[in-house]
Amino acid sequence: DQLVVGLEVEKISRAQIFFRQHIRRADATVEGHWQELVSGTVHIVCVNSMQMKATSIPAILRTKLEALQ
């Protein structure tokens, strides 16, 4: 089987990033020719390790992540 593993940036807020991950299989019988086998969402929070509180995502990282949206 031909599989595709994907990762998409769903949302970026001041201190959080939401990713969507999926695995799809080529299937000519399905609309779009891909059958989704499994998917999941990953929620990441940027934290100040000294205070254990949410902090802003560094600008350089935010810029790179926004380019993936």
Query: pLDDT tens digits for 28-39?
Result: 898 889 999 999
The beta strand positions in 1-69, using DSSP E, are 3-12, 16-26, 34-45, 47-48, 53-54
Is the pLDDT reported for residue 22 higher than 90? yes
Is the pLDDT reported for residue 69 higher than 90? no
The arithmetic mean of pLDDT across residues 20-32, rounded, is 93
What pLDDT does 68 receive?
86
What pLDDT does 56 receive?
97
